[in-house]
Amino acid sequence: MAFNYHPELLRPYLALSQGTSIQAEYVWIDGDNELRSKSRTITHRVTNLSQLPNWDFDGSSTNQAPGHDSDISLRPVAFYKDPFRGGDNILVLATTYNSDGTPNKTNFRHSAAKTMELAKDAAPWFGLEQEYTLFDLDGKPFGWPKGGFPGPQGPYYCGAGAGKVVARDLIEAHYRACLYAGIRISGINAEVMPSQWEFQVGPCEGISMGDELWLARYLLVRVAEQWGVKVSFHPKPLQGDWNGAGCHTNYSTKQMREPGGIQAINVAIEKLSKRHDEHIAVYGEDNDLRLTGRHETGHISSFSSGVANRGASIRVPRHVAEKGYGYLEDRRPASNIDPYRVTDIIVETTVLDK
């Protein structure tokens, strides 16, 4: 499909009065762990979630329902300022339910919300490091030399300068779009493989982690659409001596964040070590291609932990070990995780003692 976005032609229309109406873009997770959205007019400004109606869509077109029973309902769970339309327009994050009222098979928020409610006294915080890779429409990593490869990894991570980083304009636009929307994006950096980048969201408490990461992903694919660039969340987008893409999950409870919290961190690591396989099962598709024990990863088949160790499953940051409190980093989750599943199981294991 050709690149057909013309922001300069759109601009005068975005300046037209909307009267008292606003546009609400309902965003949801589809049957392939990707994002979909559609728009509706709301005839008044929205200041509260309860002002947003439920809606529905054709689940047979999104791998979420069979054709004979295809209506899936969308229940709004959060809304954010819309950086594309501006003004009072909003992006609405919605979850999916079947016609009988049960959560759709793709709706992992339903379970995570219950877990977070049960664990709320522990005040679980997360910070996710979303890595991703940009591709052009022909399927080549964006900005890579035609018919060849860039030089080996080394100069690209946090690089500056032509030949070291690509697409900084796109990445910057996404950063601003997140800030405008109210996403708690905490930073961005260029990654080890050229055309691979990372953004971090957090700290976010409980269920809001999954909500904000999904919305930040949505903003990324929408911004990239304007550049005619595809975003891949695959954990090993290129075979060979190129780093894979992860979604490191930084995690703490109230106890861990207080002086002496390193003890609670060590107890949590011990609990995590006993459920390695259960965790790996929800830590992303094709993660075996990434967790090879090379390229700054621990091996998928064994659990390990260590201070400042980037080859371990769990890393305790050096500054945390020195201060004696803070958080841990679970390095196992892949870039294509559903953050609801990952935050759910971490709290289940470490707080609810499943």
Q: Which residues bind ligand ADP (CB under 6 A)?
A: 125-127, 129, 186, 200, 202-203, 248, 250-252, 257, 326-327, 329
Shortest approach of ligand ADP to residue 261 CB, angstroms?
Answer: 9
224-263 residues near Mn ion, rule: CB under 5 A: 248
Of the pair 329, 344, the CB lying nearest ligand ADP is at: 329
Distances (CA, A) of 52 to 183, 230, 278: 20, 31, 37
Interface stretch with Mn ion, choices 102-110, 168-176, 198-206, 337-345 (CB under 5 A)? 198-206
199 binds, among Mn ion, ligand ADP, none (CB under 5 to 8 A by kind): none
Of the pair 129, 344, the CB lying nearest Mn ion is at: 129
The letter for the amino acid at 344 is D
**Which of 30, 129, 211, 212 is close enough to bind Mn ion by CB under 5 A?**
129
226 binds, among ligand ADP, Mn ion, none (CB under 5 to 8 A by kind): none
Helix or strand (DSSP H, E) at 280: helix 276-280
For ligand ADP, the nearest residue by Cβ is 127
Which tokens in the block code for residue 28? 């949801």
Residues 6+ apart with CB under 8 A from 177: 83, 84, 219, 222, 223
Shortest approach of ligand ADP to residue 158 CB, angstroms?
Answer: 10
Of the pair 124, 202, the CB lying nearest Mn ion is at: 202
212 binds, among ligand ADP, Mn ion, none (CB under 5 to 8 A by kind): none
Q: Specify the residue for token string 């969340």.
A: 233
Distances (CA, A) of 321 to 256, 295, 324: 11, 24, 5
Shortest approach of ligand ADP to residue 181 CB, angstroms?
Answer: 17
Strand partners, 314: 305, 330
Q: Are strands 35-42 and 55-58 parallel, antiparallel or unpaired?
A: unpaired
CA pair distance 35, 29, nearest whole angstrom: 5
CA pair distance 79, 59, nearest whole angstrom: 22
Shortest approach of Mn ion to residue 313 CB, angstroms?
Answer: 12
In the complex, which residues of this chain contact Mn ion (CB under 5 A)? 129, 198, 248
